[in-house]
Structure 1
């Protein structure tokens, strides 16, 4: 996949697309441009790669990795992200009700709909002109990739915003302007249909040159998470959680990943984040990045939770004068100083020997599990560090969660999984009769800084209770606003609300 994404920089010039500021401004390709472009198999490959790029890397400063580190990780009890300046992530952490114009919220909406537009366009052109791809299996696999990416984006939208407009084909701005927010269940119908097609038609694996393309088992992992989210308590809101009992369906998808024999539990915690590509058997669904290519395919997500003095201690300067985003005391208290995950994943003490930030820092711990100086390129947006959307340890722990909901497996299976995780962390294998609450605590210490915590809190059914207890314990400055059921969704972006006044209703609890 990495060799393919180098082509992405040329895609938009070839397609001569009008840039999409938001989904209400989507315009289809002119008939002439479409005819000129989708005429060879390579044209379709480039269009597919462009769809991957927008779905995973976004269309602006952020991408999916930065999105979950801000909207999920920073929103959760893993960070107490107050700041002395005005930063968009502060409003996320502090539960501001004036988030509709927040750039992080807007990006989540805009990038997903831009990718959906590209996926819809690719699917339409495959139907109309796909015969230029001579091998039918290749054509079908490409359709499965496009449908996976469309499902990936709609699921992301549902989890952030609840109801969203359902757009299944390329439309003119006038047509889009008449589509109201669609019922969550109807959006899920498309997601499930797309993912089931993907599971049935994607390749089980790819060679190293195609690393990053979604496989059958990556699709199964997302399908399982969809079933689990649909099964989560709905908290009385119109969100992605439907309170269904589909834990057995999720368990089956996850068990298929386990049974495939293609993945393995990482031998060390560090290796999960330092070994790239197909060699890393923890990788189930990954977003690849490469540095020093000159093609804009480097990553910048590792700076999201970073701090400028820590980068200076690694002799990596000019990351953007990054302010400190404090790790919460409750998370630090869960991770002992002898836990391998803390030793590798958190820099408790670091020293800057020269320059602006001279000194030794002992009271500003930084999440560093993704920060690898050997993969730093030419600036903060040129890191060659891959982002793991789902890893095999996650698959196993999600299976344990399904088991505790009666979806399959046994208590012994749950205990074994948790003890394997503890042993790798250098802790005793002393977990027994693990409960759901305990499992979520184990997930917190395993996946901190990876963007899963907010979603885990919601699936637990205790998000509001846990977040308010954390607020009471850690918010001495009373910076954090009200945390209630309305806080479990983000507001519809203001620019969408204003594009066609009255078309959308705002999510409850927000100013506009």
Structure 2
């Protein structure tokens, strides 16, 4: 019962930052008095916004569980250790996970705790007297809240939509809002964030904060997921040539440089989870380590394709390996790694743009925008450009983009969502070069954590996802 109550409370808990150096905020009861006592000055809001970013480094999110929920779930990678973590990771990979899976529950809780943090800080922004700074903080918090809800709606579908601080008692009456309603809130947050945030930050200390470009790139991904291709095109065209100013995003000449720990937040990166291995609790362990990759993925690269080497592994010490895409060395003091985890980058934008243009209307012109942007990603990696003879219709172009996304973005948490979005997950998993898996359409979503179902105890407003 205690565990169930704690799961429910994570939706409404306010997490308060004791100092900028700490990765996580301190759980406190969700009382208005506590919030009012904390959010008194601009410095308090600054600390709270910092804490909202720090929450992304949680092991229940991008430093851990998301790797399984969003990537190992796909056909790219396979978990072959049914005994590790009580089998919870293995069960996610093999589509055996049920509503009592702790990885699913922890991720759900972390996302709603992070949303609560954003809501509580947004509700107290009036203490910031600098209008420009207040607007920036609002934009950052709304971007982060939208990012959280985008993960939630893609992982679980219908979801409680909470956009302001609430009490634990109030949360018991909040049911699961329809997917369309959740997407509308995401779009509203990102549209507002794009208008509030700067394209770049003048202060180096602010690099890594959400920007207007990050809000637009994420909004375009939302539109693409909803199959609103015209809206996606109109949003993406603001980020690509010749409309790149003032964003200045570009493909780096060498794809390996995008992930170079000595070249963080380079011109290709639009938004990333920031890490610092020299600070306790701000580093991480190996991302994916020495994964079992689908041989079909490795074999899909042409011989000269420079992206293939990024999927090889390097040895960090006697017992630890790391895939080259995320290579770093351990800090001698903290024994942690410090790679940033990229959420949005320019190659992704170009591939989204090519896809959305093709969905609106196929062009047989190899010099058209959709061919040009698709081929620009391939040519950067020294892969052979596609011709209109190879991609002779809309469907062949569509499948080429999906495959190119697999080659360009593996282990970056895009593959599972790409398969679901294009309704190709069932076929991809059944014909994987790893263990073939037959899945049902209901498994495109995860089960809602059983603890939440039991605490709410109201299937009319808070039902379990079908099939579970």
The alignment status of 1:212 with 2:208, answered yes or no, reads: yes
By how many angstroms is 1:95 displaced? 0.7
Offset at residue 152 of structure 1 (A): 1.2
Unaligned regions of 5+ residues in structure 1, if any?
19-26, 232-245, 308-324, 358-364
Judge conservation of contact 2:251–2:268 (CA < 8 Å) in 1: yes
Aligned to 1:446: 408
Match of 2:452 in 1: 496
CA distance in 1, matches of 2:239, 2:216: 7
Question: What's the RMSD between the two structures over aligned residues?
Answer: 2.7
Q: 1:9 maps to which residue?
A: 22
Structure 2 unaligned segments of length 5 or more: list them: 1-16, 392-396
Q: Residues 8 and 49 of structure 1 are in contact (CA less than 8 Å); yes or no, is this contact kept in structure 2? A: no
Cα distance, 1:374 vs structure 2: 6.4
Q: Secondary structure at the match of 1:405?
A: helix
Query: By how many angstroms is 1:355 displaced?
Result: 5.6
Deviation at 1:501, TM superposition (A): 2.1
Partner of 1:420 in structure 2? 376
Give me the whole-angstrom Cα distance separating, in 2, the residues matched to 1:36 and 1:73.
Answer: 41
CA distance in 1, matches of 2:265, 2:322: 28
> Offset of 1:176 from its aligned partner?
0.4
Equivalent of residue 260 in structure 1, options 244, 250, 273: 244
Which position in structure 2 is the counterpart of 1:506?
Answer: 464
Structure 1 pair 452/6, CA: closer, same or farther in 2 (3 Å)?
farther
Contact 1:160-1:489 at 8 Å conserved across structures = yes
Q: Deviations over 1:111-156 (max 9, x none)?
A: 1100111111111112xxx1x4232111111111111111111111
Change (3 A) 1:280 1:9: same
Distance, in Å, in 1 between the alignment partners of 2:410 and 2:42 is: 42
Question: What's the offset of the Cα at 1:289?
Answer: 0.5
| Alpha-carbon distance between aligned partners in 2 of 1:34 and 1:500, rounded to the nearest angstrom | 25
Kindly indicate whether the alpha-carbon contact (under 8 Å) linking 1:285 and 1:389 is maintained by their aligned counterparts in 2: yes
Contact 1:8 1:46 in 2 (8 A): no
TM-score by length of 2: 0.86
SS of residue in 2 equivalent to 1:389: strand
Counterpart contact for 1:5–1:49, Cα < 8 Å: no
CA distance in 1, matches of 2:398, 2:409: 16
SS in 2 for 1:388: strand
How far the C-alpha of 1:344 sits from its partner, in A, is: 3.1
What is the aligned partner in structure 1 of residue 31 from structure 2?
Answer: 29
**Alpha-carbon deviations, 1:230-278, whole Å to 9, x = none?**
11xxxxxxxxxxxxxx211111211112223321111101100005667
Contact 2:238/2:244, CA 8 A, preserved across alignment: yes
**What is the distance in 2 between the residues matched to 1:407 and 1:375?**
51
TM (norm. structure 1) is: 0.79
**Aligned equivalent of 1:463, options 399, 402, 425:** 425
How far 1:426 sits from its partner (Å)? 2.5
Q: 2:187 pairs with 188, 192, 205, which one? A: 192
Contact kept, 8 Å, 2:257 with 2:263, in 1: the verdict is no
Number of residue equivalences: 435
Matches within 5 A, 1:90-489: 90-96=90-96, 98-126=97-125, 130=126, 132-206=127-201, 207-231=203-227, 246-258=228-240, 259-261=243-245, 262-274=248-260, 280-294=266-280, 296-300=281-285, 302-303=286-287, 305-307=288-290, 325-336=291-302, 338-347=304-313, 367-373=323-329, 378-379=334-335, 382-406=336-360, 412-432=368-388, 434=391, 435-470=397-432, 474-475=434-435, 480=437, 482-489=438-445
SS at 2:238 equivalent: helix
Distance 2:69 2:442 in 1: 15
Q: Is contact 2:23–2:54 with CA below 8 Å preserved after alignment?
A: no
